[in-house]
Chains A and B, each alone.
Chain A
Amino acid sequence: MSTTTADSFAAPGPGTPESTRPVKAATLAGAWRTFLVRRVVGLIVNLALLVLVTFLIVQLIPGDPATAIAGESASLGQVELVRTQLGLDQPLPVQLWTYVSGVVQGDFGDSYRYRQPAMDIVMTAVPYTLTITIAAVVLLLVLGIALGMAIGVATRGDRRRWLDLSFSVVTGIISSIPTYVLATGFVVVFAVLWRVLPPAYSPAYNIGAAAILPIASLSIGGICSVARIVRRETAVILEQDYMRTARGWRLPTLTLYVKHMLPNLLTTALTLSGIILTALLGSALITEAVFAWPGLGGVIVQAIAVDKDYPVIRAAVFVIGLISLVMTLIIDIILGIIDPRTLGGKRD
C-alpha cells in the first residue's frame, strides 16, 4: 500500500506564515471524491472482466462443448438441444451479445437440472455462505487483533520469551491445518464423540447451533494468522517515532495502545483482511461440503461434478466474484475512514 505525500491533497506549502490572505487548511473531501470515482470505475472494469470470464467458461471447454456438457452417452439429438440452448450454434459475437444482455437482467439461463432460473438457485444459497463467511471475518479480525496486540505488547523489547515462543509454535501449527481438515476434526470431537453440536446442517437442527462448527473451523486458522501478523506489526509500531512521541507526552498505557497504536494496526489488519476474506470465501466453498451447508460451495460442486449444469456454474462464479469485489470495496472504504492516507494510494 502506498501512501501519498502532502501535495496530492493540495495542502498549502511551507512558508505560508507571511502571506496576507488567510490560508485555509485543506479537507479530505477532494481525496474522497477522487477515491470514489476511481473505485467505481475500477468496479465497472472488474465487473466487465467477470462477465467475460463467466462467458468463456463454456467456450473454453476442450473439444466440442455441447458434446462434453451433454455427456458421452447422450444422443445426437440431446447434444444438438444443448447446443441450441447455450446458443453454441451462433457466431461468437452473437453468443457474447446474447449472454451479456441476459446477464444485465440477472438472467443466466435455466438450470438443466432444476428447470428454474440459475440465478434463483444461486440466490437461495448466497445467504448461507455470506452468514458463515461474514461471521468468520468479523471473529477473526476482532479476536486476531486483540490476541496479537496483547501478545505483542506483552513480549515487547524481548520480555517473556517463553510466551513469544509458545505463541509462535501454537499459532503456527493451528494456522497450517487446512480448514476442511479442521472442520472434519471438529465434527469428530464435538458431534461424534461429545455429541454437543449437530454434525451437519439439516432443517431438523437449530440453524444457529448448526452454524457454530462451520464458523469456528473457518475462523480459527485465520485468527491465528491475523494474530501472528498483528503481533509482528505491534512490535514494529512500538518502535515507531510517533510512539516515542506519545511516550514523550507520558500518556497512560491504555491511551498509548488503544488510541495511538490501534488505528495504525487496523490499517495493516484491514489491508490483509481483504486477502484473508477472498481466501476465506474459497475455503468456505470446500468447508461447506463437510457440514452439508446449503451454500454456494455445495451448489457449484454439484453443478460441476454431477450435473454439468453450466448456467448454474456461470451464475455461481459471477456471484462469488461479485461478493469478493464488493467486500474489497467495503474494506477499502472503512480503511479510508480510519486512515485517509490510503485514499490516494492504490491497494496491492
Chain B
Amino acid sequence: MTESNPAAAVRVAEAPADRARTFAWNPGLVIGLVILVVVALTAIIAPLVFGAQATGVGSDPGQSASAAHPLGTDTLGRDMLARTLVATQSTVLMALFATALSSVVGIALGIGVWLAPRRLRELGLRLIEFAVSYPTMLVAIIVAAILGQGVVQVVVAVAVANIAGFARLTANLAAKISASEYVTTARLMGVPVHRLALRHVLPNMAEPILILIAGAFSGALVEISGLSFIGLGAQSPAFDWGTLLNDGLSRIAVNPIVIVGPAVALTFTSLAALMVGDGLAAAANPRSNSTRARLVRAEGEPALVAIEGDDVVLIADGITVTHGSTGRPLVSDVSFTIRRGEVLGIVGESGSGKSLTASVVARLLGEGLEASARRLELGGTDLIGRVSGRTLASKIGLVYQDPGTALNPALVLGSQLSDVLTIRLGFPRRGALGLLARAFEAVKLSDPEGRLRQHPHQLSGGMKQRAMIASAMSTKPDLLIADEPTTALDVTVQREVLSLLKRMNEQSGTAVLFISHDLGVVRALCDRVLVMKDGRIVERIDDVATLSEDTVEHPYTKQLLAATPVVAVPREARS
C-alpha cells in the first residue's frame, strides 16, 4: 500500500537494492538520529514531568501565547506545550507498534511467498501487487471501518496497510539476490539452502529493509496522526498529536497558536525518520565528487617533426590528461598524426588511456578531467580553445562501444539521428531523413525508411551499430572515431561491423581513429598501430603487414602479440 505521505512513498520506491561495501556517515543521518533520540527521551520523560499539567483543567482557557503558556492553552485551560510533549509518548508508541507489526508480518509474508512453490508464489506476488496499488490511507480507513475507532484499531489499521509494502520489498529482494552471481556460485558449490539464506540473502537485504523501516515509521506516524485528526483514532480522554491538531483546527480562527505544538512535533519527527532513511541510503551509495572537464594548450617543443603535408588530417601533439582533483596523470604526452584515408589503431588494456586520448580528440572529455595538448588540429582547424558545435559536428563522426546504450531509448532512430543534420548542418527535415535512409542502405540495413521509424530496442545490437556508423558517416566527417565499436557485439556481428568500417574508409577516404583492446582486430583493420600502456605510447607499429614478435621492441607488445590469434578480415567480404 502506498504511503499517505508522497515523500515517504517515493523515498521507499527509490531505496537502492544494491549493497555497497562502504558505509559513510553523513550529516543528514547524524542529525536525524539525534532528533530521534531527543524525541525518544521526550516520550519517556515528558509524561512524568508534565503529566498533571497536560491533563489537569487550568484556570485560564483559550489563551494565546504568553510567558506562562508559550503555545497557549486549549478550551479547558490546559497548557498546549505540555500536552504536545506528553502526547509524544502515545504518538511515537503507536507508530512504533504499527511499524514493528507491519515489518515483522510483511517480511515473513515476503519470505514465505519467495519460498512457496512456483504457482503459489506467482499468485502471492499478484495479490501483493494488488494490495500495494491501493492508497495506504484507504486501506487504513477500510480496516478502521471494520474494527471501529480507537487507539488499538488505528495501530492495527496502519500496520495492515503497510504490510504489503514490506512483503513486496522482501520478495523482490529475495528474488533479486537469489538470482545474483554470488548466490548462484555458492549454490553450485553445494552450500545448503538455510546457510544460503542466512549468510547471503538476509545480510544483503538488511540495508534496503532498514531504509524501508525508517520510511514506514515516518509514514505510520503521519497516517496514525491523520486518522486521529479526522476522528478515527485516539478517542477522548486519550490524546495524540493528531487529536491535538484536530482540537486546534476547530479553534483556528480564534486562537491559531494552539496548532503550532502538534504541527511542529509531527513535522520534525517525521522529518527525522526520513532523514535517517535518506542518510542510510546515501551512506550505502556515497556519491563521487568531480569537477568539470577542460582542455588547455600546453607550452613546449613539439614532439612531432616532419608532420607537414597536404594529406595529414589530424595532428595531435603532446596530449596529456590528469584527474582533476587528485592530479594523477592518466595520459602522458601522447602524440600522433593521421593521414587522409588512413586507419590508425590505438591498442591497449583497460585503463591504458586509449579511450581518454580519443575523447580529447573528439572534444568530449568526461567531467572531472583536465587535458592539455601542445597542438591539436583537425583538417586545419585548431581544436584547442573554442570551436563551434557546427564545426565539430561536421568534422568528427563518432561510433561508440555499446550501441545498446549509445542510442536514446525514448526516441525513434529517424528523430534522434537526423538532429545533427537538421540542427547543425542546416538540412531540411525531409532531406535529412532521405540522407539517413540512403546511409542506412549503404550499411545494408533492410527497409531503411521503416528502420527510421523504429525505436532502438526494436533493433539487434549489430543493426544498432550499423545505424550508428551510418549516422556518423552522414555528416561526411574528416575523421571517424570508433571507440571499441565491436567489443559489445558477438563475434559474427563483429566481423560484419569491421568490414563495414573498412569499406566506409575505402569508399569515402575518411580517416579512422580505431580504439580497441584487441590487437588481433586492430592488425586486421588498421594501417598503423599505436600500443598504449599506463597512459603512454610504448610502441609505434608502422608496418602492420609484416607484424610479428620479432618486428616489435617493447616487451608489452610482444606479450600482446603472443596472446592474440590472427584474425583476418576479408575485404569486401559481404558486398
> What are the residues of chain B within 8 A of A98 when measuring CB–CB?
none
Residues of chain B whose beta carbon lies under 8 Å from any beta carbon of chain A: 2-11, 13-14, 28, 129-130, 133-138, 141-142, 144-149, 168, 172, 218, 222, 225-226, 229-232, 245, 248-249, 252-253, 256, 259, 263, 266-267, 270-271, 274-275, 278, 289-293, 362, 364, 367-368, 389-390, 392-393, 396, 398, 400, 402, 405-411, 415-416, 419-420, 423-424, 444-447, 450-451, 453-455, 457-463, 468, 492-493, 496, 574
Pick the contact of B5 from A179, A248, A278 — CB < 8 Å?
A: A179
Q: CB-nearest residue of chain A relative to B10?
A: A225
Do the beta carbons of B134 and A321 come within 8 Å of each other? yes
12 interchain pairs (CB within 8 A)?
A: A11-B459, A26-B454, A178-B225, A184-B245, A225-B7, A241-B400, A245-B407, A250-B392, A278-B2, A278-B133, A286-B229, A300-B141
Is B253 within 8 A of A192, CB to CB? yes
Determine how close the nearest CB of chain B comes to the CB of A125; give it in whole angstroms. Answer: 14
Known contacts A199-B253, A242-B405, A250-B420: A157-B291 contact under CB 8 Å: yes
Contacts of A244 in B (CB 8 A): 364, 400, 406
* Interface pair A176/B274, CB less than 8 Å apart: yes
8 Å CB contacts to B: which residues of A170-199? 172-173, 175-181, 184-185, 187-188, 191-193, 199
CB-CB < 8 A to A267: which residues of B? 410
**B420 A251 Cβ-Cβ under 8 A:** yes
A56 to B66, CA, bound (A): 52
Say whether, besides A14-B460, A249-B393, A250-B392, A157 and B411 are in contact (CB < 8 Å). no
**CB <8 Å contact, B410 and A221:** no
Which residues of A lie under 8 Å from residue B291 when comparing CB positions?
157-158
Nearest 5 CB-CB pairings of A with B: A282-B137, A25-B450, A282-B135, A17-B444, A250-B389
Contacting residues, chain B, for A341 (C-beta < 8 A): 409, 455, 457
Once A275-B13, A320-B135 are accepted as A-B contacts, the answer to whether A5 and B457 lie under 8 Å apart by CB is: yes
Q: List, in ascending order, chain A residues with CB within 8 A of B267's CB.
A: 173, 176-178, 181
A317 within 8 A of B: yes
CA distance A224 to B10 in the complex (A): 11
Write out the residue numbers on chain A whose beta carbons fall within 8 Å of the beta carbon of B222: 178
A11–B457 CA distance with the chains assembled, in angstroms: 9
Q: Whole-angstrom distance between the alpha carbons of A225 and B400 in the complex?
A: 35
Q: Does B9 contact A279, Cβ atoms closer than 8 Å? A: yes
Given A157-B368, A172-B278, A259-B419, residue A279 in contact with residue B405 (CB < 8 A):
no
Give every chain A residue within 8 A of B14 (Cβ-Cβ): 229, 232
Q: How far is the CA of A237 from the CA of B408 in the complex (A)?
A: 10
Q: Is the CB of B230 within 8 A of A259?
A: no
Instruction: Please state if A46 and B409 are interface contacts (CB–CB under 8 Å).
Output: no
* B455 A176 Cβ-Cβ under 8 A: no
In angstroms, how far is the closest chain B Cβ from the Cβ of A24?
5
A150 to B: closest C-beta gap in Å: 18
- Whether A178 pairs with B5 at a CB distance below 8 angstroms is yes
Give the contacting residue for B458; candidates A6, A225, A286; CB below 8 A.
A6
**Interface residue range, chain A:** 35 or more
* Complex alpha-carbon distance, A49 and B168, angstroms: 18
Smallest beta-carbon distance B352→chain A, Å: 20
Chain A positions 218 through 244: 1 when the CB is less than 8 Å from some CB of chain B, otherwise 0: 000110111011001000000011101
**Are the C-beta atoms of B226 and A178 separated by less than 8 Å?**
yes
**A62 is an interface residue with CB less than 8 A from chain B:** yes
Contact with B along A278-308 (1 / 0, CB 8 A): 1111110110011000000100110111000
Q: How far is the CB of B313 from chain A (nearest CB, A)?
A: 18
Are B145 and A49 interface neighbours, CB within 8 A? no
Rounded to whole angstroms, the CA-CA distance of A39 and B307 in the bound complex is 66
Interchain CB contact under 8 A, A158 and B289: yes
Q: Which residues of A contact B396 (CB under 8 A)?
A: 248
Contact of B141 among A18, A19, A304 (CB under 8 A): A304
Q: For B6, what are the chain A residues with a Cβ–Cβ distance below 8 Å?
A: 175, 221-222, 225, 275-276, 279-280, 283
Whether A176 lies near B130 (C-beta < 8 A) is no
Does A77 have its Cβ within 8 Å of any Cβ on chain B?
no
Known contacts: A229-B14, A278-B134. The answer to whether A53 contacts B446 by CB under 8 A is no
Whether A248 contacts B364 by the Cβ 8 Å rule is: yes
Contact B10 A229 (CB under 8 A): yes
Residues of chain A within 8 A (CB-CB) of B142 are: 53, 57, 317
**Given the complex of chains A and B, what is the CA–CA distance between A24 and B138 in angstroms?**
50
Of B11, B172, B266, B457, the contact of A3 (CB 8 Å cutoff): B457
Q: How far is the CB of B258 from chain A (nearest CB, A)?
A: 10
Complex Cα distance, B221 from A25, in Å, reads 54
* B367–A173 touching, CB < 8 Å: no
- A22 near B447 with CB under 8 A, answer yes
Are A157 and B290 within 8 A (Cβ)?
A: yes
Give the residues in chain B near A180, CB-CB below 8 Å: 226, 229, 245
- In the complex, A73 has a CB within 8 A of chain B: no
- A283 proximity list for chain B (CB < 8 A): 4-6, 137
Interface centre among A157, A184, A282 (most CB of B within 10 A): A282
Whether A16 is near chain B, meaning CB under 8 Å from some CB there, is yes
* B574 contact set on A, CB distance < 8 A: 17-18
The answer to whether A157 and B292 have CB atoms under 8 Å apart is yes
